[in-house]
Structures are given as structure tokens and as C-alpha cells.
């Protein structure tokens, strides 16, 4: 069994044909956990092997995700299973309930292998801000994995599971998907319940996942999405499963914003020329499939990043105020450097005399960003953009320069400010490093994005290129964290 190439759909088909069992798949995933977990720093908690095998043996194969191994980002509350949020301040916290998404996945038959490493509290786009050390890129372990859902992406790429859950507040699913050659969904705000997820910035947090293929991604969303009485922000919009009948994109209009390209060139260290070429090739592939490329204007892209880094720290300051060492874990001195930085920025922005100048003004700009996207979608079906201005940096390259790390989010944060949907797709390689693109759609347009993404995926088939891990030494990378 080639677990690195096996998709959810193929696994379910294999179960039905009795080619292999859930036990076989779970054992293979656990074997890869033993081989690569320490070397790549992927999982913070791994469930007991005997317990997992017992669960796999009792799988009800009539369920939609029966016997499918999943790794959960460690922001997801899991009943009687340690949940750290990548932060040592709560490294002994064991919830007594499941997040709504976790409950739905369990009910669908999915098997939880463990909890994934991440930037602490979701604060980061590289995976380097974890209090437990950085996760390493599946395709080159000297480079970052992307964040904040770093471990979830690498776990899928290294065959530790068949899909991973994540959260996306400003690119935290799309970035690790791009850096690890995966499909990553940032759903419409309110599409998936946030109940039971450790909050970062509550008005921007979205709950999604990473998979190997578009079809797998659509299947998982059909299970996790929907109205939840425990989350008042969820919506009653129906969740239609994408049909994937389109083999071309004739009749569809895809927008390209010159503001996105311009702001990418202004970033530090600036948009990578090779990545720009890969992005242009991806756009030509969409055009070759029949899509009409249309220029759209998103004039408030430039202030969107600054706005994001006013609003998000403000909400972080509020959300992390509860971790005082009385009800949870350790004292506040245990917070990592990035968490402290964001809390101080947020507290300042919300303080008397500065609230109107920063937070209130930021909310006004956010409205303008949302309006930009609403107007653009009046003339196009989706908008095309890169995910990052450059391939995955080497670990440590930007760790001493928070501004450079923040600027890596330039293509992703406007989508969260607007509350719309985005689907990250593999788009090729620069050397041995994967890079990605994203398709952005209006609210509740996930089905359309999947159909476009599927046509592109079938044309390019980048998902078939797997990590070259021959250089890894299992004898030096054994054991669970």
C-alpha cells in the first residue's frame, strides 16, 4: 500500500473492494509516525496504538469517512485527549468535550491519530512560533512547513494520516497547503462551526482542512459544514457536494487583480521571480481550460494587511486574557514571544485614547475590503491569486524579523477580512519546494471553487509528486513526542 499516494476516496474504494482494511491503513500511518515524527516535529500527541487498532477493527464501513485516519490541529478540543494549542502555558490541558468538528468527524467514522504541532495559538505563517519547536517542511526539512496549521499539512504529506484539520484566520491553512503540495480550504466565515476551537481572532477564524486532492477536500467539507446551535455565527446555507462533472472551464470568468501583484512586489524580501513565473503558468492553464481572464480592481488591498495586524492582535488580546494560570496550566510568563507581542499590540490598540484611531478605523477599512470583493464578484466567478510571495523560507531566515513574516500573508489576509471562501491548490515546484495558488470565491461558493479546482487539478496533476524522503533515517527519527 502506497500511503503517500493513497487518497480518502481510494481508501474508501479499497475498503469496499476488500483490498485492505482500516487496520492496515492505521498501522501504516503509525509506522510513518514512528519513522518521521521526531525528525520533522509533526505531532505533539499520539494516541495509544492498541486503542487505535481496536477502534480500526470495529469500524462501521457504511459511514462516509469510515476508517479514514485524521490528524487534528492542536487548537481543536478533544475529549480526554491533550490539547495544547502549541503553547506550553496549557501543555497539560485535557478537555472534557469535543469540538463540534471533532464530534462530526468521529460520527462519520474517522479515526483520530493524534494532535498536530502548530504556531502557538495559531500566531504565525511559518510554523516556527510553536512553543515545542518548528515543524519541518515535508519536501525539504531545512525549510519551514507554513503555518499556523503546520503539523496538519506535514502529517498528510508524510503519510501519517489521509487528511488534517486546520484553522485559517489569515492564511493558516492555505500556507501549509502551498508549502507541502496539498489542497487547503479556507471556507466562508460561518460555514463550519468554531465551537470547541481555541480562539485566535473570533471574527476572522475559519475552520477547514488539508487533503491530497480536491475530491477529498469536498468530501470532508460535506461532513464538517453546517449550522451548529453552539455557534451563533454558523449559517443555514445548504452544503452541496461538488459534482466534478466539468472537464473544462468554458463560460467561467476568473479575475486577476493588479493590486495583488503590486503589493507582492513591495513585500520584504519581494515577490520571488521564479514563483511569479509559476503563477503565470498556472493562470495560463486555467485559460487553456476555457476560462476567460478578467482584470478586477481590489483598491483596498494595500491597507488590508495593516488593518489585519490591528484587528487581529486586538481580538487576541481579549481572547488570551483568560489564560492567567488560575484556571489553565501555568502563569502568563510562559507565553511565547509572538503571543506577548500580539497581546501588547492589541492591548495598545484597544486602550483609551487609541481605540478610535486604530481599532475603529480598522473596522471601517475592513468594510471597504469586503465591499471590494463584493463588487469584483459581480463580474467574475472567482479570483485568482498566489498564496505566498515566495517559496518556503529556510527555518530561521525570518525568525528575527516579525515584519517580514507578517508580510508573507499579503495574499491571504484580505480574504479573511472579507469573510469569503478560498481554495488553495498545488501549482508546481521551485527546485524541490512546492508552491501554490488560490481561487477566491464569494460567500458560500465552495462548490464552484471545487469544480474549478478539480478541472485544474486534472490538467496539472501536481498532487502526484510526493516528498523525497529517502535521505531520512528512521533509526534516528523514531519515537512519539
* Alpha-carbon separation of residue 442 from 203, 237, 449 (angstroms): 17, 13, 10
Query: What is the percent of the chain with per-residue pLDDT over 70, rounded to a whole number?
Result: 97
Among 108, 125, 130, 148, the active-site one is 148
pLDDT on residue 352? 87
Inside any domain, residue 378: yes
Burial degree of 238 (CB within 10 A; 0-12, 13-18, 19+): exposed
- Of 158, 164, 259, the residue nearest 211 (C-alpha): 164
**How many beta carbons lie within 10 A of that of residue 206, not counting itself?**
26
Q: Is the per-residue pLDDT at 160 higher than 60?
A: yes
d(CA 77, CA 100): 9
Inside any domain, residue 1: no
pLDDT on residue 268? 66
Q: Is the per-residue pLDDT at 480 higher than 50?
A: no
Give the mean pLDDT of 10-20. 98
Inside any domain, residue 3: no
d(CA 457, CA 451): 10
**Non-local CB neighbours of 460 within 8 Å, separated by 6+ positions:** 282, 285, 426, 427, 428
Cβ proximity of 230 and 349 under 8 Å = no
Q: What are the pLDDT digits (tens) for 106-118?
A: 999 999 999 999 9
Inside any domain, residue 100: yes
Give the mean pLDDT of 177-201. 98
Domains in the chain: how many in total? 1
d(CA 103, CA 161): 18
Inside any domain, residue 2: no
Inside any domain, residue 481: no
Inside any domain, residue 292: yes
Q: What is the pTM of this model?
A: 0.95
d(CA 5, CA 167): 24
Give the mean pLDDT of 64-73. 98
The Cα angle at residue 215 between residues 279 and 193, in degrees rounded to 5: 95
Inside any domain, residue 20: yes
Q: Is the per-residue pLDDT at 215 higher than 90?
A: yes
- Of 132, 107, 104, the residue nearest 118 (C-alpha): 132
Among 35, 73, 106, 186, the active-site one is 73
**Residue 246: which domain range?**
8-476
pLDDT on residue 434? 98
Give the mean pLDDT of 335-348. 93
Among 77, 130, 172, 317, the active-site one is 172
Give the mean pLDDT of 307-334. 88
Q: Is the per-residue pLDDT at 381 higher than 70?
A: yes
Cβ proximity of 301 and 260 under 8 Å = yes
Per the prediction, the chain carries an average pLDDT of 93
All cell numbers assigned to 452: 474549478
Q: Is 314 one of the catalytic residues?
A: no
d(CA 343, CA 347): 6
Cβ proximity of 209 and 185 under 8 Å = yes
What b/e readout covers 57-72, taking b as 16+ CB neighbours within 10 angstroms?
Answer: eebeeebebbbbbbbb
Q: What are the pLDDT digits (tens) for 121-146?
A: 999 999 999 999 999 999 999 999 99
Q: Is the per-residue pLDDT at 399 higher than 80?
A: no
The CATH number assigned to the domain holding 111 equals: 3.90.1300.10
Q: Is the per-residue pLDDT at 476 higher than 70?
A: no
Query: Residue 358 carries which DSSP code?
Result: I
d(CA 10, CA 5): 9
pLDDT on residue 474? 33
Q: Is 148 one of the catalytic residues?
A: yes
* Alpha-carbon separation of residue 243 from 38, 317, 450, 455 (angstroms): 40, 42, 9, 11
**Non-local CB neighbours of 183 within 8 Å, separated by 6+ positions:** 177, 210, 211, 212, 213, 214, 216, 217, 423, 424, 425, 426, 453, 457, 463
Give the mean pLDDT of 261-280. 85
Q: Is the per-residue pLDDT at 472 higher than 60?
A: no
Query: What is the percent of the chain with per-residue pLDDT over 90, rounded to a whole number?
Result: 86
Judged by average pLDDT, the poorest of 191-195, 318-322, 371-375, 458-462 is 318-322
Give the mean pLDDT of 207-215. 98
Band (242; pLDDT cuts 50, 70, 90): low
- Site of grid cell 528575527: 400
List phi, psi (to 5°) of 321: -65, -20
Give the mean pLDDT of 344-365. 93
- Of 36, 205, 47, 40, the residue nearest 134 (C-alpha): 40
Q: Is 284 one of the catalytic residues?
A: no
pLDDT on residue 475? 30
What b/e readout covers 118-144, taking b as 16+ CB neighbours within 10 angstroms?
Answer: bbbbbbbbbbbbbbbebbbbbbbbebb
Amino acid at each position: 500500500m502506497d500511503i503517500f499516494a493513497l487518497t480518502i476516496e481510494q481508501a474508501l474504494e479499497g475498503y469496499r473492494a476488500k483490498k485492505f482494511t482500516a487496520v492496515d491503513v492505521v498501522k501504516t500511518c503509525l509506522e510513518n509516525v514512528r519513522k518521521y515524527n521526531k525528525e520533522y516535529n509533526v505531532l505533539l500527541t499520539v494516541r495509544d496504538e492498541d486503542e487505535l487498532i481496536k477502534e480500526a477493527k470495529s469500524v462501521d464501513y457504511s459511514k462516509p469517512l469510515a476508517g479514514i485516519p485524521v490528524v487534528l490541529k492542536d487548537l481543536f478540543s478533544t475529549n480526554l485527549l491533550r490539547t495544547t494549542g502549541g503553547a506550553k502555558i496549557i501543555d497539560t490541558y485535557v478537555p472534557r468535550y469535543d469540538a463540534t468538528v471533532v464530534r462530526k468527524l468521529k460520527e462519520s467514522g474517522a479515526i483520530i491519530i493524534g494532535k498536530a504541532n502548530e504556531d502557538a495559538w495559531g500566531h504565525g505563517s511559518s510554523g516556527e512560533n510553536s512553543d515545542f519547536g518548528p515543524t519541518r517542511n515535508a519536501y525539504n526539512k531545512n525549510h519551514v512547513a507554513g503555518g499556523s496549521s503546520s503539523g496538519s499539512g506535514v502529517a498528510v504529506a508524510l503519510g501519517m494520516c489521509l487528511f488534517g484539520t486546520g484553522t485559517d484566520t489569515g492564511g493558516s491553512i492555505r500556507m501549509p497547503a502551498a508549502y507541502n503540495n496539498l489542497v487547503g480550504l479556507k471556507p466562508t466565515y460561518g460555514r463550519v462551526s468554531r465551537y470547541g476551537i481555541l480562539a485566535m481572532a473570533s471574527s476572522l477564524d475559519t475552520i477547514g482542512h488539508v487533503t491530497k486532492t480536491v475530491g477529498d477536500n469536498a468530501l470532508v467539507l460535506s461532513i464538517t459544514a453546517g449550522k451548529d446551535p453552539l455557534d451563533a455565527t454558523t449559517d443555514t446555507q445548504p452544503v452541496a457536494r461538488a459534482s466534478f462533472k466539468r472537464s473544462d472551464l468554458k463560460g467561467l470568468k476568473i479575475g486577476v487583480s493588479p493590486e495583488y501583484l503590486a503589493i507582492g512586489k513591495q513585500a520584504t524580501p519581494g515577490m520571488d521571480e521564479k514563483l511569479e513565473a509559476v503563477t503565470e503558468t498556472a493562470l495560463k492553464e486555467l485559460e487553456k481550460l476555457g476560462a476567460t481572464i478578467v482584470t478586477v480592481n481590489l483598491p483596498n488591498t494595500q491597507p488590508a494587511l495593516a488593518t489585519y495586524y490591528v484587528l487581529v492582535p486586538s481580538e487576541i488580546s481579549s481572547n488570551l486574557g483568560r489564560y492567567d494560570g488560575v484556571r489553565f496550566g501555568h502563569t502568563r510568563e510562559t507565553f511565547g514571544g509572538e503571543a506577548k507581542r500580539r497581546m501588547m499590540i492589541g492591548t495598545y490598540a484597544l486602550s483609551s485614547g487609541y481605540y478610535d484611531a486604530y481599532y475603529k478605523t480598522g473596522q471601517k477599512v475592513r468594510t471597504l475590503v469586503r465591499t471590494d470583493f463584493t463588487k469584483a464578484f459581480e463580474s467574475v466567478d472567482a479570483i485568482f491569486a498566489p498564496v505566498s510571495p515566495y517559496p518556503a523560507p529556510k527555518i530561521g531566515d525570518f525568525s528575527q524579523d516579525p515584519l517580514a513574516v507578517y508580510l508573507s500573508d499579503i495574499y491571504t489576509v484580505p480574504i479573511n477580512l472579507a469573510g469569503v471562501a478560498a481554495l488553495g491548490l498545488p501549482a508546481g515546484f521551485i527546485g524541490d519546494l512546492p508552491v501554490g495558488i488560490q481561487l477566491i470565491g464569494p460567500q458560500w461558493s465552495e462548490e464552484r471553487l471545487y469544480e474549478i479546482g478539480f478541472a485544474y487539478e486534472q490538467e496539472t496533476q501536481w498532487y502526484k509528486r510526493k516528498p523525497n524522503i529517502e535521505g531520512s533515517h528512521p533509526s534516528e527519527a523514531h519515537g512519539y513526542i
